[in-house]
Amino acid sequence: MRRYPNLILGMLLVVVWAIAAWQGQRVQQLRDADLFYRWIVAACTQSSLLWELTEQVTNDPTKPKMMDRELFESITGAADKIRAEVPVQEGDLDKTGAVEPKLVRLVKHDKNSREVWNLASGSELASQREEFRQYWRQGRLASAGVQLDVSVMYASESTTVSLANMFLGFRKMAANLIWLEVDKYWHAGMLHRMVPLMNLTVTLDPNFVDAFLIGAWHLAYNATASLPDTPELDKNYYEQYGVYLGRKELYYYQGVDFLKDGIRKNPSDYRLYFDLGYGIYSEKLHDYANAVRYLEYAVRYLKHDKWVPRTLNIAYQRNSQYQEAIDGWKLYLQKFPANPNAQRFIMYNEALLAERDMTQAREKMDAAQTALQTAQQAGTDATTLAAAQANHDAAKREYEAKFDLTHKQWQTVLASQSGADPLALGHLRMLEAQTLADTSRYYEAIAVLSQARIECNEIFNEVSDRIMALKEKAKIPLNASEKMEMQRRAQAERIKSERETREKGQQPAQN
């Protein structure tokens, strides 16, 4: 050191700096592995939710081909070969009914996070990791987004400056300040200013889950609060959703998109699934099948609060999955025995299950009745007539037994409550109306149903439909609002039929 101090110090500086640069490469590799891991988790979650990985992309021939599906299949194929068998559980089937890949099943459970990370960062998936890096840099991954790197939003050819880096690492703070503006505009009633800022907030901070929740709430609830339902004639077709929507309905779908984007970026936060399943699909779109799908995912695979299984069980009930609802409530009661409502809901669903069986028996009896009348009118031989009669009698006995059982179930629900139970009362009145209608006492039946829909709001639409059906059968004139409803339905049917005809006409003839 004394002889050539400058040389030695210079060499030392170069060596240490080189080691630091090498360590920097390691850190960068870890970050790349981190991005790859996050993409795998997001893609597996989307696959499990039966989403198309490239659903954001339109068929634009000028844009490069998106490689999400190919990359995903390559990764899951490689992981299937490496990994030992993963137990198949309920819900581990894809949309074709086949068992999901091992990697998708692994990702669902948080306890496997380290194993998935080891796969993502290890040498077994090194080639797929490199492919991911290249496709991501080229902007050819539609299911990746700003949750991986905010600079992706500026990855188009026309942008040369990565503005995200201009925030000097304070983009989360910038997102917070923008969110304060959103809150200010909300209280001022300026929804049109809120929406772009909401999008900007979650772009800057993709892990700002509360912004996704409140933003979707604004879109689905507040933006539509003063809007009327759009008449069928005024709806426009939206290709990305495959349905006809008016302005009000479009907000619901935008809320869905917003929450789906949140799930893409934060696949392990149950609140996004809950809001999507319950808040929008169940309460606004009345799409109970999708409500069940998302709530089931939250309950099965994610840490969640205790109201989530409750809403799932209610979604089961609304989706006519009564047995699942009963099983769910029983499981809930085991965990929370002090819950005052679980037992009541179990009884509701048992009664609804009996009522469904009764309805099916009724249809069977009506079919047997029709067959008997047809046989009688056609003058068939005595043996066939006797068989038809026996069939009808058996169906009638079955229906009457199920009717009695249903009646008994609802009576049990009513007796178990300290006060009047509107739902039980409503259903009992519907059974009473059915008995009256069967003996052609239509006016009395309609009066009983009118009372039922006043007492129980939950079955208002169902009862109204029954009233209109009875009036039609008995040739009783409809009132003004019923006539308008029938006109609306007829118009909707006519427009739907015209659209289908037009679409068939536009489709090329197939040989």
Where on the chain is the footprint of other proteins (CB under 8 A)? 5-6, 9-10, 12-13, 16-17, 19-21, 23-28, 30-31, 33-34, 37-38, 41, 107, 110, 113-114, 117, 121, 137, 151, 157, 160-162, 165, 168-170, 172-173, 176, 179-180, 183, 207-208, 210-211, 213-214, 217, 266-269, 271, 274-275, 278-279, 302-303, 305, 307, 311
Pick the closer one to other proteins by CB: 114 or 504. Answer: 114
Q: How far is the CB of 479 from other proteins (least distance, A)?
A: 36
Least CB distance to other proteins at residue 204 (A): 11
Q: Is 508 helix (H, G, I), strand (E, B) or coil?
A: coil
Smallest separation, CB 183 to other proteins (Å): 6
Choose between 23 and 501: whose C-beta lies nearer to other proteins. 23
Q: Which is nearer to other proteins, 39 or 399 (CB)?
A: 39
In angstroms, what is the minimal distance from the CB of 112 to other proteins? 10
Under a CB-based contact definition with an 8 Å cutoff, are residues 383 and 336 in contact? no
**What is the four-CA torsion angle of 386, 387, 391, 396, rounded to 10 degrees?**
0
Q: Which is nearer to other proteins, 342 or 433 (CB)?
A: 342
Report, in Å, the least distance between residue 139 CB and other proteins.
10
In angstroms, the CA 341 to CA 345 distance is: 6
Phi then psi dihedrals of residue 229, to 5 deg: -65, 140
Q: What is the CA radius of gyration of the chain?
A: 30
Q: Which is nearer to other proteins, 122 or 231 (CB)?
A: 122
Query: Computed from CA positions of residues 167, 173, 175, 181, in that sequence, does the dihedral angle turn out positive or negative?
Result: negative
Nearer to other proteins, 160 or 507 (CB): 160
Q: Which residues contact 267 (CB under 8 A, 6 or more apart)?
A: 41, 42, 45, 46
Alpha helices in 208-320 (DSSP H): 209-217, 247-265, 270-274, 288-301, 307-318
Residue (168 or 480) nearer to other proteins, CB:
168
DSSP class per residue in 176-228:
HHHHHHHHHHHHTT-HHHHHHHHHHHHHH-TT-HHHHHHHHHIIIIITTTTPP
Query: Of the two residues 280 and 372, which places its CB atom closer to other proteins in the complex?
Result: 280
| Lookup: tokens for 320 | 């006519």
Task: Name, in order, each residue with C-beta under 8 angstroms of 264's C-beta and a sequence gap of 6 or more.
Answer: 42, 45, 46, 143, 145, 147
How far apart, in Å, are the Cα atoms of 278 and each of 275, 321, 352? 5, 16, 21
Closest CB 475 distance from other proteins, rounded Å: 45
Minimum distance between the CB of residue 485 and other proteins, rounded to whole angstroms? 30
Those residues whose C-beta lies under 8 Å from the C-beta of residue 274, and which sit 6 or more positions away, are 294, 295, 298, 304, 308, 311
Residue 134 or 440: the one with the smaller Cβ distance to other proteins is 134
In the complex, what is the shortest distance from the CB of residue 114 to other proteins, in angstroms, rounded to a whole number? 6
CA distance 158 to 315: 47
Tokens of 218: 């604004």
Of 365, 396, 399, 371, residue with least CA distance to 385:
371
For the bound state, the minimum distance from the C-beta of residue 110 to other proteins, rounded and expressed in Å, comes to 4
